[in-house]
């Protein structure tokens, strides 16, 4: 595999797997273009070198072949604007039109291919389909970290059709992989992982894997209450995964055996219903009255968690501390974002990843106050679960 920034793309046709899976409203207007913006530096470098660009992406989850709703043509005008150059479009990602348009691209030219998932071969990782795609470019660049955990035709299988010197990560992928590897393999201690969100079941594997790496694990959000239940607490009607109580117990025991400190929120903001206009109060998290539910970490938990965070040298944050979408229950997540920003200011390396924690740091204005915000929710989670990501493995 070559290094993107050391390469010169003059006269080359570069086939790039991007993640342009952006949200659209009902009139096909883009409501959040962050994923498109993220790849612009990669595309600009190639175009400035005198290369041309062929872009391929998935878009939504089409079930049965082509569908207007999932056409990437809706992105053409906005992409032209972002790049400051006209973008051409091929109505299918393989076949004659795509081949013809790719072959005719001049230096500085940009071609966007139609949604890869209009062909079921994409998600099946079909080799013949990947080979057809590969014929469109001289060089393959993967800049789609968000799909790196999928062994699809365009994200992994295609890499075998390019010589090592003709395949590489783009700038987004390069920095995603660098920052994840830094936290996973060369973290300075104390290393605190902050894990939140709704479900223990989604986070068991990441916690297990982090038990071998982190010094401290902070657990917040709805998942914390299954742990309190495991320790014999009363949690009212807070979120509970009954079938994960034993797993929570085991995780606590394993942590103890490995000398990893698990921090649970000793107090909670509780509500009498899951609603913006609920009555609220505060309570010890292991003694929540019947009919009440914990929807955010409490003031004491904020204080204790912040202290742990500020003393850390490496921080990984995945998942909110409470129902941050509702104003009454966002204080905990905000306080943790502030502490992570303060730790960054103190010289810690801080990585925030996972859809909801990323929305939270963006919403609260902390995105540029942490070391790195990862764009790949599922991919990042799987990476920290210790799994090999096909999109990365295929390049190495």
Which residues form the interface with ligand AMP (CB under 6 A)? Answer: 197-199, 202, 221-222, 239, 294-295, 319-320, 322-323, 325, 354, 356
Give me 236's structure tokens.
């009212």
Q: What CA–CA distances, in Å, run from 296 to 192, 234, 238, 291?
A: 20, 16, 10, 16
> Is 117 considered catalytic here?
no
Q: What is the DSSP letter of 187?
A: P
DSSP string, 117-171: GGSTHHHHT-HHHHHHHHTT-SEEEE--GGGTTS--TTTTGGGGGS-GGGEEE-H
- Among 355, 369, 386, 387, which one carries the catalytic annotation? 355
> Is 378 considered catalytic here?
yes
Give me 261's structure tokens.
């400190």
Specify the residue, 179 or 333, whose C-beta has the smaller distance to ligand AMP.
Answer: 333
* Helix axes 200-210 and 377-384, enclosed angle (nearest 10): 40
Specify the residue, 57 or 268, whose C-beta has the smaller distance to ligand AMP.
Answer: 268
Specify the residue, 144 or 206, whose C-beta has the smaller distance to ligand AMP.
Answer: 206
Distance in Å, CB of 293 to ligand AMP, minimum: 7
Distance in Å, CB of 40 to ligand AMP, minimum: 28
Q: Do residues 13 and 105 make contact, with C-beta atoms less than 8 angstroms apart?
A: yes
Distance in Å, CB of 210 to ligand AMP, minimum: 15
Q: Which residues of 61-94 are buried (b: 16+ CB within 10 A; e: fewer)?
A: ebeeeeeeebbbebbbebbeebbeeebebbeebb
> Is 199 considered catalytic here?
yes
Distance in Å, CB of 389 to ligand AMP, minimum: 19
Specify the residue, 273 or 345, whose C-beta has the smaller distance to ligand AMP.
Answer: 273
Q: Closest residue (Cβ) to ligand AMP?
A: 197
Residues recognised as catalytic: 35, 199, 355, 378
């Amino acid at each position: 595999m070559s290094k993107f920034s050391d390469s010169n793309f003059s006269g080359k046709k570069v086939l790039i797997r991007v993640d342009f899976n952006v949200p659209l409203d009902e009139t096909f207007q883009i409501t959040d273009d962050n994923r498109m913006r993220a790849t612009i530096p990669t595309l600009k470098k190639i175009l400035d070198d005198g290369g041309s660009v062929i872009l391929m992406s998935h878009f939504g989850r089409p079930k049965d072949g082509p569908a207007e709703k999932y056409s990437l043509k809706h992105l053409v005008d906005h992409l032209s604007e972002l790049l400051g150059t006209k973008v051409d479009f091929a109505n299918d990602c393989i076949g004659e039109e795509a081949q013809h348009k790719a072959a005719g691209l001049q230096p500085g030219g940009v071609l966007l291919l139609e949604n890869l998932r209009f062909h079921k071969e994409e998600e099946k990782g079909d080799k013949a389909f990947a080979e057809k795609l590969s014929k469109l470019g001289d060089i393959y660049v993967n800049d789609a970290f968000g799909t790196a955990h999928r062994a699809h035709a365009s994200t992994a299988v295609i890499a075998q059709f390019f010589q090592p010197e003709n395949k590489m990560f783009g700038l987004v992928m390069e920095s995603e992989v660098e920052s994840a590897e830094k936290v996973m393999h060369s973290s300075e201690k104390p290393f605190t992982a902050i894990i939140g969100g709704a479900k223990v079941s989604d986070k068991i594997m990441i916690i297990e894997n982090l038990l071998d790496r982190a010094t401290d694990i902070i657990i917040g959000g709805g998942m914390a209450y299954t742990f309190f239940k495991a320790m014999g607490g009363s949690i009212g009607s807070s979120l509970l995964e009954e079938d994960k109580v034993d797993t929570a117990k085991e995780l606590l025991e394993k942590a103890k055996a490995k000398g990893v400190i698990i921090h649970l929120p000793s107090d909670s903001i509780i509500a009498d219903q899951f609603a913006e206009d609920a009555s609220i109060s505060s309570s010890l998290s292991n003694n929540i009255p019947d009919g009440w539910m914990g929807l955010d970490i409490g003031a004491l938990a904020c204080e204790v968690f912040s202290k742990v965070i500020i003393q850390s040298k490496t921080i990984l944050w995945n998942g909110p501390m409470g129902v941050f979408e509702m104003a009454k229950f966002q204080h905990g997540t905000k306080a943790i974002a502030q502490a992570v920003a303060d730790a960054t200011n103190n010289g810690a390396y801080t990585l925030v990843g996972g859809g909801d924690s990323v929305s939270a740091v963006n919403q609260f204005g902390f995105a540029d106050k942490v070391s790195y915000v990862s764009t790949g929710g599922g991919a990042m989670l799987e990476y920290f679960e210790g799994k090999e990501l096909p999109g990365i493995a295929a390049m190495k």
